[in-house]
Amino acid sequence: QKEVEQNSGPLSVPEGAIASLNCTYSDRGSQSFFWYRQYSGKSPELIMFIYSNGDKEDGRFTAQLNKASQYVSLLIRDSQPSDSATYLCAVNGGGGSQGNLIFGKGTKLSVKP
Amino acid sequence: DGGITQSPKYLFRKEGQNVTLSCEQNLNHDAMYWYRQDPGQGLRLIYYSQIVNDFQKGDIAEGYSVSREKKESFPLTVTSAQKNPTAFYLCASSIRAANEQFFGPGTRLTVL
C-alpha cells in the first residue's frame, strides 16, 4: 500500500517565523510532489510542486525534495496569520497507478499574531 | 474565466435516494477526478477519468458511479448502496494524468 505520511499537528508558530512542514512517502517510483493549502471548509489550493531533488522557491514558500530519503518538505518564511490552514502533501503514485496522486492527511498550521 | 465548478454547494439526501453531484471544467483538461474527504482524513480517490468515455475505479468506488460523455463534465452519482455518504466531495482536473490537479469548490453531502 503506497503511503504518504504527515505529522497531523497542530504546528504552532509565531508570526514572522519560519514554518517547516514535512512529508515522507513510501513509493520510490514517485516522480512528482505537490503541496496544497486547505482552509477550513474550503477545497485544496495548489501552492507548490517539485519534480527534482533540491530546493524550489516561490515567494515565501520553498519546497525541498530528497528522493534518496523519500522526503519532501515545505518551508514558509515570514509566516502570517493568513497562512493558518491545513497543508496537504501529495505524491504521484508512479508505477501502475497511472499518475494518480496519493494525499497525506495534512498538517494543521496555526500562526499566532 | 477558467475554472472548475461544482454544484450544488450543499446537498441533503434521504436514506435510499440516489443523488448526482455535478462537476464541470473549462480548462480543456483531459483528466478528471472525484475525491471524498471526511473530517480529519485525507482525500480518498473515488473515480478518475483520463479521457472522454473512459473512467476507472479509485480506492473507494463502491456505492458510487460516474460518466464521462463530454471532456468538460464528470458527474458523480452517490447511490443508495453507499452506506455512509455524508462527506465533503471534491472534483479535480489536470491537463493530463500525473500533472498537478486543480480542485473545484466542493459539495458537502449530508444524509438525513
Return the closest-CA partner of residue B106 out of A37, A44, A39: A44
Q: Where does the pLDDT of residue B64 fall: very low under 50, low under 70, confident under 90, or very high at 90 and above?
A: very high
Q: Could you tell me which residues come within 8 angstroms of residue B111 by beta carbon, excluding any fewer than 6 positions away? A: B12, B13, B14, B15, B84, B85, B86
Q: Which amino acid is at A18?
A: I
Higher pLDDT, residue B92 or B80: B92
Q: Quick check: A32 and B40 CB within 8 A?
A: no
> Is the pLDDT reported for residue A45 higher than 70?
yes
Residue B43 to chain A, least CA–CA distance (Å): 6
Nearest one of B30, B28, B63 to B44, comparing CA atoms: B63
Indicate the DSSP class of residue A55: E
Amino acid A46: pLDDT: 96
Contacts of A100 in chain B (CB under 8 A): 33, 45, 48, 58, 97
Give the pLDDT mean for B40-59.
Answer: 92
Q: Would you call A2 helix, strand, or coil by DSSP?
A: coil
* pLDDT reported for residue B112: 85
- Going by pLDDT thresholds of 50, 70 and 90, the confidence category of residue B78 is very high
Mean pLDDT in residue range A71-95: 92
B45·A43 Cβ contact <8 A = no
**What does the DSSP 8-state code read for residue A67?**
T
* Pick from A92, A98, A103: CB nearest B42: A103
Scanning every residue of chain A, which has its alpha carbon at the shortest distance from the alpha carbon of B44? A103
* Residue A96 pLDDT: 56
pLDDT at B46: 96
Give the per-residue pLDDT at A54.
Answer: 95
Give mean pLDDT, residues B37-52.
Answer: 91
Contact A43 B106 (CB under 8 A): yes
Three cell numbers, residue A100 = 494518480
A100–B45 CB contact, under 8 Å:
yes
| The predicted structure's pLDDT at residue A94 | 62
Mean pLDDT of chain A: 92
Tell me the shortest Cα–Cα distance from A17 to chain B, in angstroms.
26
pLDDT of residue B1: 61
Interacting residues of B97 by C-beta distance below 8 A, sequence separation 6+: A98, A99, A100, B30, B31, B48, B50
Does B56 or A93 have the greater pLDDT score? B56
- Tell me what pLDDT residue A11 has: 96
Mean pLDDT of A37-45: 96
Contact between chains at B97 and A105 (C-beta distance less than 8 A) = no
C-alpha A9: how far from chain center:
13
Could you give the 3-state DSSP secondary structure of residue A107? strand
Return all residues near B99 (Cβ < 8 A) that are at least 6 apart.
A32, A99, B31
In this prediction, residue A99 carries a pLDDT of: 67
Inspect the interface and report whether the beta carbons of B103 and A98 lie closer than 8 Å: no
